[in-house]
A and B are shown apart, each in its own frame.
Chain A
Amino acid sequence: MILQINMSSDVPIYMQLRNQIVMGIGCGELKAGQDLPTVRQLAEDIGINMMTVSKAYTILKNEGFIEIDRRHGAKVRKELDPNQQFCEKLEAELFLLAAESKARGMDKADFFELCEKIFSHKLKEKHL
């Protein structure tokens, strides 16, 4: 997949890395079991400190998206399931987004339509 890191953004680089890899997995650009570059290779290519990449990888590993093997480097996890922890996090974040939408006067149908569009089109579109 193509990573695009904005060096002048307010979002920290390790967060950008984490978010883009998650999006890559979600959109199917990164397949289950696919190998990722090592910390050194990615740090060299982006021109950032190895610690930054390492931080992003650690977060991704703790969230269960990737697994890190000392010998083979990092790869996308084969079995990814919505576990208990993730469901709780999703609920909290969705609650916040739904509340924000309602506060701004968006009705239930519009909110659902947007969710439907993102889930079935945006994620699928990129999949092809």
Chain B
Amino acid sequence: MIGWILGFTAAIVLVSVYFASQANPQPNVRIGVSLPHEALNDIEVKKITGDYRSALRKAVLIAAVIGIPPFFLLSYVSLAMLFMFVWIGVVFYAANRIFIVYHDKLIVLKQNNRWFAKNARIITVDTEVSRLKDTMPISGRWFIIPVLLSLLPFLFAYLERDNNLILITLGVVSLTTSLISIWLYTLVRRESTLSVSRDTRVNMAYNTSRKNTLSRGWFLFAFSEAIILAVMSFLIMQYDVNVVPVIIAILLTSVLGLIIIITSYQKASQTQQRLKNAENDVFYVDDDSGWENGFLFYNNPYDERTMVEKRSGYGQTINIATKKGKAFIYGTFAFSALVLIGVTGVLLWADFGEIEMGIVSDNNRIVIQAPMYGYEFNASEIIDVAITNDPPRGIRTNGIATDRYLLGNFNINDYGKSKLYIVGDAPYIVVQLEDLYIFINGKSENQTLEYFNLLKGLQAH
């Protein structure tokens, strides 16, 4: 299971890095450099963009090979996760480095050919287009539908009390997705218009196609996520579905969302290209400053916008030269660092912390020491102690399951609510308490038998 999740994440990272870093949302931009129309088919330009693509392909291939080792580390989840986090960081860093190298090459070529340097830092705005920009995207009211749909899982959770942790999680996922889409929709709405011609009608069509397609895209994204999650929650409420198909469905939904967004960006870009091709009197905006540091972030102190449209890839990025942009970046980095350290720390503790069972003799108290999921109970609470060779099978509700150990809270078939402290092979001790089963064993059979005799002895008292 954890292997599938890691593999899926790694694949998404590689695919998105490969496709996003060479996508050109503005038709006359290559590797973050704006070029005149006639230069787009220049042999040297084509060579540099071709080299960039093949360098990127090689990097993706190398990254895929380097990404294999964690799949042999699956019994140590913490190490596999740690490797994965570092790997994702390295992949993004490498893709950005490659971008910078070829971006610089293209800038040099542009300067040597004197491709319109005189227009530098001139911003062109069509007043009619600017005035009508708010009419271009679809109305924000459409987003009421996904928001209402994303409240359904909460309603189902209220109706069905047994499964409500999963249902509430689905509701939170759905609502967050809707709110993020609304935020991205407002960014599209506010995004500055681009004027490509002296003809206002061309400029109107050029900007309307983009804002309309993208705002529709974000609505469709929010709507499809909300409806799939609502249907899923309904099925869970009605038929008690297992966790695994739920996770698979969530992953598939995110892939669907990705496809919707990429398709809308491509569609918008194609329409704009068509309009530009049909127009004779096209003027290009030439402004490369701010993109020297790669495709991930924009850095232009002369631009007051916090969010700008990406030059390579899809969507928006942050202007790290502004105060808000800096705050956002530092905040995000600090937060993710905290989460990463927290998650890997906890997992390292679980992987390398000792699971032991000790007994406090004076008041017949049994203490199971384990990372995070330690437990204590009185000898008098024991109803039965048995030993079995059948490994416990069921659903993990809150715990950790790897090839080496099972730890935490599970729902075990034929038993029910259980706590597992399994660190070795069969046999397993099953301790029955009121409303709870405890599965425990030692690393060796001898230790397991020792625990068993201890518990049996206490029960006899």
A and B interact physically:
yes
Name A residues whose Cβ lies closer than 8 Å to a Cβ of B.
1-8, 24, 30, 35-38, 41-42, 44-49, 73
B121 touches A3 (CB 8 A): no
With A42-B130, A45-B133 given, is the CB distance from A2 to B304 under 8 Å?
A: no
Binding site for A on B (CB under 8 A): 120-128, 130-131, 133-134, 190-193, 195, 198, 302-305
Least Cβ–Cβ distance between A96 and chain B, in angstroms: 29
A7 contact set on B, CB distance < 8 A: 121-123, 302
- A47 with B127: in contact, given A7-B302, A41-B133 (CB under 8 Å)? no
Cβ contact within 8 Å between B120 and A3: no
Contact B123 A41 (CB under 8 A): no
Q: Which of A35, A37, A45 has the most CB of B within 10 A?
A: A45
Complex alpha-carbon distance, A5 and B195, angstroms? 12
Instruction: Enumerate chain A residues within 8 angstroms of B302, measured Cβ to Cβ.
Output: 7
CA separation between A46 and B120, bound complex, in Å?
Answer: 14
Residue in A6, A8, A35, A42 whose CB lies within 8 Å of B125: A42
> Which chain B residues lie closer than 8 Å to A47 at the CB level?
123, 192, 303-305
- CB A35 to nearest CB in B, in angstroms, measures 6
- Whether B303 pairs with A8 at a CB distance below 8 angstroms is no
- 23 A-B pairs with C-beta separation under 8 A: A1-B128, A2-B125, A2-B126, A2-B198, A3-B126, A4-B123, A4-B124, A5-B123, A5-B125, A6-B122, A24-B127, A35-B131, A36-B131, A37-B131, A41-B130, A44-B191, A44-B192, A44-B305, A45-B130, A45-B133, A47-B192, A47-B303, A47-B305
Q: How far is the CA of A38 from the CA of B304 in the complex (A)?
A: 18
Distance (Å) between the CB of B206 and the closest chain A CB?
A: 13
Q: Which residues of B sit under 8 angstroms from A36, Cβ to Cβ? A: 127, 131
B126 nearest CB neighbor, chain A only? A2
Q: Are A8's CB and B134's CB within 8 A?
A: no
Across the interface, which residues of B come within 8 angstroms of A38, CB to CB? 131
Looking at the assembled complex, report how far the CB atom of B133 sits from the nearest CB atom of chain A, in whole angstroms.
Answer: 6
Pick from A1, A44, A48: contact of B127, CB under 8 Å: A1
Q: Which A residues are CB-close (under 8 A) to B121?
A: 6-8
Chain B residue contacts of A30, Cβ below 8 A: 127
CB contact under 8 A between A45 and B198, given known A2-B125, A8-B121: no
Asked if B304 and A3 sit within 8 Å, CB to CB, the answer is no
Partner of B124 from the list A3, A42, A48 (CB cut-off 8 Å) is A3
> Bound state CA distance, A45 and B207, in angstroms?
12
- Kindly provide the distance from the CB of A27 to the nearest chain B CB, expressed in whole angstroms: 13
Cβ–Cβ contact B126 & A1, under 8 A: yes
Q: List chain A residues, Cβ under 8 A from B191.
A: 44
Bound: A47/B305 CA distance, A: 6
Q: In chain A, what residue has the closest Cβ to B308?
A: A47
| Nearest 10 interchain pairs by C-beta | A37-B130, A37-B131, A7-B121, A45-B192, A8-B121, A3-B125, A45-B130, A47-B303, A5-B123, A45-B125
Which residues of A have CB within 8 Å of B195?
Answer: 2
Chain B residue at smallest Cβ distance from A38: B131
Residues A37 and B127 in contact, CB atoms below 8 Å apart: yes
Complex contact B122–A4 (CB within 8 A) = yes
Besides A3-B126, A37-B127, 6 other A-B contacts (C-beta < 8 A): A1-B127, A6-B121, A37-B133, A41-B134, A44-B133, A49-B304
- Chain A residues with CB under 8 Å of B133's CB are 37, 41, 44-45
Task: Provide the bound-state CA to CA distance between A126 and B134, in Å.
Answer: 29
Residues of A within 8 A of B123 (CB): 4-5, 7, 46-47
Cβ–Cβ < 8 Å partners of A6 in chain B: 121-122
Interface centre among B123, B125, B198, B303 (most CB of A within 10 A): B125
**Residue numbers in A under 8 Å from B124 (CB-CB):** 2-5
- Residue contact A3 to B127, C-beta cutoff 8 Å: yes
Bound Cα distance from A4 to B123, whole angstroms: 6
Interfacial chain A residues near B304, Cβ < 8 Å = 47-49
- Report how far A46 CA is from B195 CA in the complex, Å: 11
What residues of chain B lie closer than 8 Å to A46, measured between beta carbons? 123, 125, 192
Closest Cβ of chain B: how far from A125's Cβ, in Å? 14
Cα-based distance from A7 to B121 in the complex (angstroms): 5
Please measure, in the bound complex, the distance between the C-alpha atom of A53 and the C-alpha atom of B381, giving whole angstroms: 76
Which residues on the A side are within 8 Å of B193 (C-beta)?
Answer: 45
A37 to B195, CA, bound (A): 15
